[in-house]
Amino acid sequence: MSPLRILHLVGSAYNDFYCDLSRLYAEDCLAAIAEDSCYDSQIAYITPDGLWRFPHSLSQEDIAAAETVPLFLAIEFLKKQNIDIVIPQMFCIPGMTHYRALFDLLQIPYIGNTPDIMALTAHKARAKAIVKAAGVKVPDGELLRPGDIPTITPPVVIKPVSSDNSLGVTLVKEVSEYDAALKKAFAYTDEVIVEEFVELGREVRCGILVKEGELIGLPLEEYLVNSHSKPIRTHADKLQQTAEGNLSFSAKDNIKSWIVDPSDPLTQRVQEIAKKCHKALGCRHYSLFDFRIDPHGQPWFLEAGLYCSFAPKSVISSMAKAVGITLNELLMTAIQETLGSKK
- Nearest C-alpha neighbor of 128 from the set 340, 292, 308: 292
Query: 209 forms bridges with which residues in the sheet?
Result: 216, 286
CATH number of the domain to which 180 belongs: 3.30.1490.20
**Domain check: are 60 and 34 in the same one?**
yes
- Write down the pLDDT at residue 52: 98
- Nearest C-alpha neighbor of 195 from the set 163, 150, 259, 226: 150
Q: Which domain holds residue 265?
A: 119-136+199-307
SS3 205: strand
- Write down the pLDDT at residue 39: 95
Specify the DSSP class assigned to residue 176.
G
Does 326 reside within a domain?
no
| Upper half-sphere CA count for residue 221 (Cβ side, 13 Å) | 24
Tell me how far apart the alpha carbons of residues 227 and 18 are, in angstroms, rounded to a whole number: 31
Tell me how far apart the alpha carbons of residues 321 and 302 are, in angstroms, rounded to a whole number: 25
Does 315 reside within a domain?
no
- Write down the pLDDT at residue 2: 86
Domain's final residue, options 150, 177, 196 = 196
Q: What is the full DSSP assignment across 58-90?
A: SSHHHHHHSPPB-HHHHHHHHHTS---EEEE--
Does 34 reside within a domain?
yes
- pLDDT tens, position by position, 141-191: 999 999 999 999 999 999 999 877 678 899 999 999 999 999 999 999 999
CATH number of the domain to which 246 belongs: 3.30.470.20
Does 338 reside within a domain?
no
**Domain check: are 125 and 239 in the same one?**
yes
**Domain check: are 226 and 125 in the same one?**
yes
- Position 303 pLDDT exceeds 50: yes
Q: How many domains does the chain have?
A: 3
**Domain check: are 60 and 173 in the same one?**
no
Does 322 reside within a domain?
no
- Nearest C-alpha neighbor of 10 from the set 99, 130, 76: 99
**Domain check: are 178 and 229 in the same one?**
no
Does 323 reside within a domain?
no
CATH number of the domain to which 46 belongs: 3.40.50.20
- Write down the pLDDT at residue 247: 54
What are the start-end ranges of the E strands in 2-140?
A: 4-11, 39-46, 52-53, 85-88
**Domain check: are 149 and 130 in the same one?**
no
- pLDDT tens, position by position, 240-279: 555 555 555 554 555 788 999 999 999 999 999 999 999 9
**Domain check: are 41 and 130 in the same one?**
no
How would residue 280 be classed by pLDDT, with cut points 50, 70 and 90? very high
The listed range with the strongest mean pLDDT (62-66, 223-227, 237-241, 245-249) is 62-66
% of the chain with per-residue pLDDT over 90: 84
- Write down the pLDDT at residue 120: 96
Does 91 reside within a domain?
yes
- Position 227 pLDDT exceeds 80: no
State the DSSP H helix or E strand holding residue 250, giving kind and residue range, or none if neither.
Answer: none
**Domain check: are 182 and 251 in the same one?**
no
**Domain check: are 43 and 99 in the same one?**
yes
Average pLDDT over residues 65-92: 97
Residue type, 325: I
Q: Is 241 exposed, middle or buried (0-12, 13-18, 19+ CB in 10 A)?
A: exposed
Neighbours of 57 (CB within 10 A): 15
- Write down the pLDDT at residue 254: 59
pTM: 0.90
What are the start-end ranges of the E strands in 54-188?
A: 85-88, 141-144, 156-160, 170-172
**Domain check: are 233 and 155 in the same one?**
no
**Domain check: are 28 and 102 in the same one?**
yes
Domain's final residue, options 152, 181, 196 = 196
Torsion of CA 232, 237, 241, 247, to 10 degrees: -110
**Domain check: are 132 and 253 in the same one?**
yes
Does 176 reside within a domain?
yes
Weakest-pLDDT range from 46-50, 230-234, 272-276: 230-234
- Write down the pLDDT at residue 226: 77
- Write down the pLDDT at residue 341: 46
% of the chain with per-residue pLDDT over 70: 92
